[in-house]
């Protein structure tokens, strides 16, 4: 078996970085071994000098509405998913869930079918689909169109959970959906999370007991933590087992609130998402959603009513923000971008780490923490 050796990098392994190891990649897209850089196996391999950069597991983004000028709601073709993936790969994302915000059942079905076809076709990085709504609360709708909101019947719930070759993530408001429907979605293999919810603490707890696995963009579009009303945020921070995605762009959540969440939750239960819109990887700051043109101003995406409408964030910037805004070490920021989302999505045995037997999904950063190269299943792409 032909091996490639990645050498001369600070490699994130285990609990920290090592600068005296080589990563051996096999020709099947996997990590064959981590060995001392001077070992004979390295010299017998095709050697790639990474020039002292930071080698991290590739980033995994569970909430990608768009990128490269494409919005998934507006274009549910395989080609659109591929374009979104290409745009985000430039920023270190090697695995993602194309995310459809609240829409008609026919659009949802097309999104699921396109995701299935993209995975079958081997489109790089596609891990599944995220259906964010339409089973959410009008009072916490954000930029979602309340005219699309509804309670799913058995037929629609079956369609929403019909992806058979990837992960299905469903964001819903637990107070809007019967608990038996949540249980049915979970039984069919979906990961169900709370988001865009006006639920009380008690309603959120009932949802967790029914199988909710976590929370979509913690703090945003959910009932806040207050002294006498813990709300969805209180339930999220108290619960030891659930996972929380966070948007670390300095806009969606104050850094102090994020530090509180990190202190409250067990290690590993908070992971990064971008909630990215089409301007990521595109020169065009505007896009159309529900017939309305939305434009990013100074990097902040809002609709005409002033509600945040996703973000212009990429994962590499989110990692840098964890270091610069939250004071986290780079290794922990990288785990929040790779290891923890992989575990949340049930993919932690194959993705999210640099270790033998894992898929060779990697990202190389320079000293300014800018992306220089990525690998998806061992295939390298350099950032110009």
Q: Is 275 a catalytic residue?
A: yes
Cβ atoms of 36 and 19 closer than 8 Å: no
List strand residue ranges (DSSP E) for 84-166, in order: 93-101, 128-132
Cβ neighbors of 283 (< 8 A, separation 6 or more) are: none
Q: How far apart are CA 376 and CA 361, in angstroms?
A: 4
Cβ atoms of 8 and 55 closer than 8 Å: no
Q: How far apart are CA 231 and CA 203, in angstroms?
A: 9
| Identified catalytic residue from 275, 314, 331, 361 | 275
Distances (CA, A) of 113 to 88, 117, 187, 241, 277: 22, 6, 20, 31, 21
Cβ atoms of 78 and 129 closer than 8 Å: no
Residues pairing with 172 in the sheet: 194
Tokens at 72, concatenated: 């998934």
**Could you please report the per-residue DSSP string of 162-188?**
---SSEEEEEE-TTTS-HHHHHHHHHT
Cβ atoms of 218 and 248 closer than 8 Å: no
Cβ atoms of 306 and 315 closer than 8 Å: no
Q: Which residues are catalytic?
A: 275
């Amino acid at each position: 078996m032909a091996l490639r050796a990645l050498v001369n990098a600070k490699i994130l392994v285990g609990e920290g970085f090592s600068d005296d190891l080589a990563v051996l990649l096999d020709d099947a897209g996997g990590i064959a071994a981590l060995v001392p850089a001077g070992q004979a196996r390295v010299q017998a391999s095709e050697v790639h000098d990474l020039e002292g950069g930071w080698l991290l597991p590739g980033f995994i983004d569970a909430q990608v509405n768009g990128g490269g000028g494409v919005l998934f709601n507006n274009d549910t073709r395989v080609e659109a998913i591929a374009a979104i993936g290409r745009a985000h790969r430039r920023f270190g994302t090697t695995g993602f869930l194309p995310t459809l915000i609240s829409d008609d059942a026919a659009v949802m079905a097309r999104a699921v079918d396109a995701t299935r076809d993209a995975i079958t076709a081997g489109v790089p990085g596609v891990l599944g689909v995220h259906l964010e709504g339409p089973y959410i609360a009008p009072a916490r709708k954000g930029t979602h169109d309340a005219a699309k909101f509804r309670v799913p019947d058995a037929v629609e719930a079956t369609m929403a959970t019909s992806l058979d070759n990837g992960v299905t993530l469903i964001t819903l408001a637990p107070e809007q959906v019967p608990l038996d429907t949540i249980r049915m979605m979970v039984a069919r293999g979906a990961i169900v999370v709370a988001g865009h919810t006006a639920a009380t603490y008690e309603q959120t707890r009932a949802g967790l007991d029914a199988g909710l696995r976590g929370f979509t963009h913690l703090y945003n579009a959910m009932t806040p933590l207050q002294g006498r009303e813990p709300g969805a945020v209180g339930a999220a921070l108290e619960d030891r087992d659930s996972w929380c995605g966070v948007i670390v762009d300095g806009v969606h959540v104050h850094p102090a609130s994020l530090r509180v969440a990190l202190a409250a939750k067990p290690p590993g239960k908070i992971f990064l998402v971008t909630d990215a819109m089409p301007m990521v990887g595109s020169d065009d700051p505007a896009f159309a959603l529900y017939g309305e043109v939305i434009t990013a101003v100074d990097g902040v995406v809002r609709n005409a009513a002033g509600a945040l409408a996703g973000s212009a964030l990429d994962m590499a910037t989110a990692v840098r923000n964890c270091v610069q805004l939250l004071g986290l070490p780079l290794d922990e920021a990288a785990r929040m971008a790779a290891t923890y989302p992989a575990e949340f999505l049930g993919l932690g045995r194959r993705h999210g780490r640099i270790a033998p037997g894992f898929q060779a999904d990697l990202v190389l950063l320079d000293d300014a923490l800018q992306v220089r190269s990525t690998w998806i299943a061992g295939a390298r792409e350099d950032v110009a």
